[in-house]
Every structure is written in C-alpha cells, then in structure tokens.
C-alpha cells in the first residue's frame, strides 16, 4: 500500500463545472479507480486564505491569513513542514503565494522562482508569478520534480481556470473549455503518476461566480470538487458534503504521518479501517 501522495489544486474550479466538464476524471470514477466528493470551502472564499486552509488544516481566524494581501510566512505547520519532520521528501510546482506562505516572503522572482537545495520547508520548488502561466508548462515543471527528486509528497497548483474565470466569468465558453483543457492535461499525466505508485488528490480552493469573481458565501463561490485516487478510499460518487478543513488531515492519513495538533480529526468514513460516523 503506497504512502506517496500528489496533491493537485486547480485554482477557481467550481463543483458543478467539474462535474459537467471533467470527462477523464469521471472516467476514473465510473471505472472504479477514483472517488468524488463535494467540498464546502472555508470563508472568505479567497485564494491565499484558502491555500493556508488546504495546506495547514486551520481556519482563517486562527491562522490569520485573512486576505489575498496578507503577505507573510505562515505561523502554522503545513503539510510541507510535517512531511519534512517525518523524514519524507516534498516538492511543489505552484503559484508564488505558496512560496510566500512557506518558504520566503515577499517573493523575489530572481532568487525564489527555483528552489532545489532542500533547506526550506518546501524542499524542491518551482514557482510562477503570472496567472496565465500555461498549465501545460506547470505540469511539465511537476514532472521534472517528480522524475528528478521522487518526492513522497508533491503539490501541484494550477492557475489557468481561475484566470479565465476572472476574465470571462464562470458562465462562459472560455471558462468551461479551460476546465476541459485541464482535464485533458490530467489525462496525459495521471496514468504514469498512478503507475509510479502515487495516490492522488484533485481539488480546488474556491469556485467562481457568474460575475467573474469569488469571495462570498454562495454555492458558486464555495462548492468545489474533491477527487481521490487511492486504494484506501472506496471508489464512487459520495453526495455528502465535507468540510474543506478535512483535506489536510486526509493528506496526512494518506501519507501515513501524524497530523498537526490544530487539525480536525479526520471524519471521512470511507478510509479503510476508519471509524464510521
């Protein structure tokens, strides 16, 4: 049973669009290779606060990352800190705000874009700072990190769905087609990642509304998908809504490491051997 994990975060992907447009991921669900859940994001439904939520399992009032303009290192133990503490190797191909939360703030493109020395919480990182940085380049970065360093935990953070949502709104051909495009990229990389023995999480930070924004309390803003590819999760579609604060402890469970003290106890009942709720 593998304890290696790839965590793919598709920024700005709302739940209903993932359900209607992501054919490859739903192929895996239909064929008993993956499971799908609906996640309710924390508030505010903004990017930087929710990166901290996803990677530390702590709510905004506790972690203090309250806005997109809160530029400082996190005070919490992230999945990067925890994997390193447990002797696991980690890596990230991600937007620069992730670097600012866990490696160095503020971000300096000339010194912080590529971090491969293994000294910081994100041991091997390739970071980008333009929202339109192509997703196919991002996944090539992720493949480089995976093939070169063979991390136990790899975080991959895609931005093009969110970028097109802001430019064209969620109710647009461009947004829906971008989601299809990302699903096609996943269809090209996931088979080899699965063959290499990785468990895979695919989720989002927040959704996108028909005004081309997010931050509020509506289902369009807050409802996001969670796909899990793991032999520790029973495949299928689960209708019950789960809290976003469950994602970090889920990652710890799949990595077989102890979660941090502030994280919620894992309550997703389908993990083999977990108590039912």
What average pLDDT values come out for the chain (277 residues) when binned by 10 residues?
93 98 98 97 98 98 98 98 98 98 98 96 98 98 98 98 98 98 98 98 98 98 98 93 97 96 87 44
What pLDDT score does 1 carry?
Answer: 63
What pLDDT score does 2 carry?
Answer: 80
Domains with residue ranges and CATH for the chain: 5-255 (3.40.720.10)
Judge contact between 195 and 160, C-beta under 8 A: no
In this prediction the pTM is: 0.96
Closest CA to 78 of 90, 94, 96: 90
User: Which two structure tokens, joined as six digits, stand for 53?
Assistant: 């939520």
What pLDDT score does 248 carry?
Answer: 98
């Amino acid at each position: 049973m593998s304890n290696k994990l790839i965590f793919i975060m598709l920024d700005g992907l709302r739940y209903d669009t993932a359900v209607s447009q992501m054919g490859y991921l739903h192929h895996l669900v239909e064929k008993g290779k993956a499971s799908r859940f609906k996640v309710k994001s924390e508030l505010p439904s903004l990017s930087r606060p929710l990166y901290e939520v996803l990677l530390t399992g702590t709510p905004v009032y506790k972690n203090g990352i309250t806005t997109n303009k809160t530029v400082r290192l996190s005070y919490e133990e992230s999945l990067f800190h925890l994997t390193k503490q447990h002797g696991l190797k980690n890596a990230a191909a991600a937007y620069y705000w992730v670097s600012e939360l866990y490696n160095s703030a503020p971000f300096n493109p000339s010194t912080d874009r590529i971090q491969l020395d293994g000294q910081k919480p994100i041991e091997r990182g390739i970071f980008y700072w333009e929202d339109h940085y192509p997703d196919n380049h991002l996944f090539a970065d992720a493949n480089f990190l995976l093939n070169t360093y063979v991390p136990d935990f790899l975080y991959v953070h895609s931005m093009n769905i969110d970028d097109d949502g802001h430019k064209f709104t969620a109710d647009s051909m461009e947004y829906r087609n971008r989601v299809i495009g990302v699903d096609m990229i996943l269809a090209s990389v996931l088979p080899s990642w699965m063959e290499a023995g990785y468990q895979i999480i695919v989720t989002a930070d927040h959704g996108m509304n028909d005004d081309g924004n997010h931050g509020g309390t509506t289902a369009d803003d807050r409802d996001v998908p969670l796909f899990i590819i793991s032999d520790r999760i029973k495949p299928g579609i689960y209708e019950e809504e789960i809290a976003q604060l469950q994602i970090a402890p889920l990652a710890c469970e799949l990595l077989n490491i102890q979660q941090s003290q502030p994280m919620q106890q894992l309550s997703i009942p389908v993990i083999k051997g977990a108590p039912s709720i």
